[in-house]
């Protein structure tokens, strides 16, 4: 039986733009009570104002502040039914060109914040025997892409972490979903070309997949769904054959070739100012 989303209290981190904003819009249209958390309060309030949602300041790298943010949501709305850990950054560079500060920013925003948000959600949802946690990872959490080694590491971490928590919560009434999109045409994907066989998707496509998973809970959420099938098939191949297949699709150059693209300059500059601090979104 499909879950009814009207009246559900949904919290979205990094919800001011991109996937977060598209998901907020989709859920608001279904009658959910949406709360957007974002460091860019001006953008968050603009998005929330257009949707009839709430917006609160949130720096996901501030662990105490993140907890206080969730406390405030509960004070205003009584509970949290859904937490969508969406905030993330994707700086691109060859590993030897990546600074330690950039590495740390990705770990703090893409991994530590997801772990903390999930833990806080579990503490609040398990006693009520109900709730849903959605962690936005990436297909990069199932494969390795040159030019984004640390980003891939963070998304592998989110996938593995989510799988473990999903098993811990079995039978508790609390669901976990892990969203693994390919290329999504948001600011984060600036300068990236198209992959052979798999076209990029819109933020709205990811939002629709999240809504579907909330209605009928499932763990694996690939966008497009064909990515899941492709991942299973390539894992059956010997390593050399799999790598040759990736090269044939030019997947090995997809992110690396965009690392120094002028089209990414604005995004990379903002991502470089992100922590502990400015959280951009997937």
Q: What is the pLDDT of residues 92-105, one digit of tens each?
A: 999 999 999 999 99
pLDDT for 282 beyond 70: no
Residue 174 sits in a domain whose CATH number is 3.40.50.720
**Rounded distance, CA 39 to CA 67, Å?**
15
Task: Please give the pLDDT value at position 242.
Answer: 65
What 8-state DSSP symbol labels residue 279?
Answer: -
Number of domains in the chain: 1
pLDDT for 277 beyond 60: no
> What pTM does this model have?
0.91
Residue 232 lies in a domain: yes
Give catalytic residue positions: 151
Residue 67 lies in a domain: yes
pLDDT tens readout for residues 120-179: 999 999 999 999 999 999 999 999 999 999 999 999 999 999 999 999 999 999 999 999
Which ranges constitute the DSSP H helices of the chain?
18-29, 41-51, 63-77, 100-106, 113-125, 149-168, 203-215, 226-236, 239-248, 265-272
pLDDT for 12 beyond 60: yes
pLDDT tens readout for residues 32-81: 999 999 989 999 999 999 999 999 999 999 999 999 999 999 999 999 99
Task: Please give the pLDDT value at position 246.
Answer: 65
Task: Please give the pLDDT value at position 279.
Answer: 42
Euclidean distance between the first and the last CA atom of the chain, given in angstroms as a whole number: 30
Residue 2 lies in a domain: no
Strand-strand pairing, 131-136 and 174-181: parallel
Residue 279 lies in a domain: no
Task: Please give the pLDDT value at position 78.
Answer: 97
Residue 4 lies in a domain: no
Q: What is the biggest distance separating any 2 CA atoms in the chain, rounded to whole angstroms?
A: 55
Provide the residue range defining the domain that includes 204.
9-274
**Rounded distance, CA 246 to CA 250, Å?**
6
What is the rounded (10 degree) CA torsion for 138, 141, 143, 147?
70
For residue 205, what are the contacts with CB-CB under 8 A and spacing of at least 6? 181, 184, 223, 224
**Rounded distance, CA 139 to CA 73, Å?**
31
Residue 163 lies in a domain: yes
Choose between 254 and 281: higher pLDDT.
254
pLDDT tens readout for residues 208-253: 999 999 999 999 999 999 888 777 777 777 877 767 666 766 666 6
């Amino acid at each position: 039986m499909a879950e009814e989303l009207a009246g559900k209290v949904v919290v979205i981190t990094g919800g001011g733009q991109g996937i977060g904003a598209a998901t907020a819009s989709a859920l608001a249209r279904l009658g959910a009570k949406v709360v957007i958390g974002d460091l860019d309060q001006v953008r968050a309030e603009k998005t929330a104002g257009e949707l009839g949602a709430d917006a609160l300041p949130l720096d996901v790298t501030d662990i105490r502040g993140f907890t206080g943010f969730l406390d405030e949501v509960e004070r205003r709305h009584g509970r949290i039914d859904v937490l969508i850990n969406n905030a993330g950054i994707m700086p691109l560079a060859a590993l030897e060109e990546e600074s330690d500060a950039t590495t740390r920013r990705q770990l703090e925003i893409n991994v530590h914040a997801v772990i903390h948000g999930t833990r806080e959600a579990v503490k609040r949802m398990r006693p009520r025997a109900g709730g849903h946690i959605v962690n936005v990872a990436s297909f990069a959490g199932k494969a390795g892409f040159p030019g984004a080694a640390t980003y891939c590491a963070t998304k592998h971490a989110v996938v593995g972490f989510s799988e473990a928590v999903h098993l811990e919560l079995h039978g508790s009434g609390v669901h976990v979903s892990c969203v693994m999109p390919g290329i999504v045409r948001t600011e984060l994907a600036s300068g990236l070309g198209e992959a052979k066989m798999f076209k990029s998707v819109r933020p709205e496509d990811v939002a629709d997949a999240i809504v579907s998973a909330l209605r009928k809970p499932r763990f694996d959420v690939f966008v497009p769904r064909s990515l899941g099938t492709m991942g299973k098939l390539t894992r059956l191949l010997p390593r050399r054959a799999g790598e040759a297949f990736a090269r044939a699709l030019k997947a090995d150059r997809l992110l690396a070739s965009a690392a120094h693209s002028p089209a990414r300059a604005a995004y990379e500059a903002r991502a470089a100012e992100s922590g502990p601090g400015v959280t951009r979104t997937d």
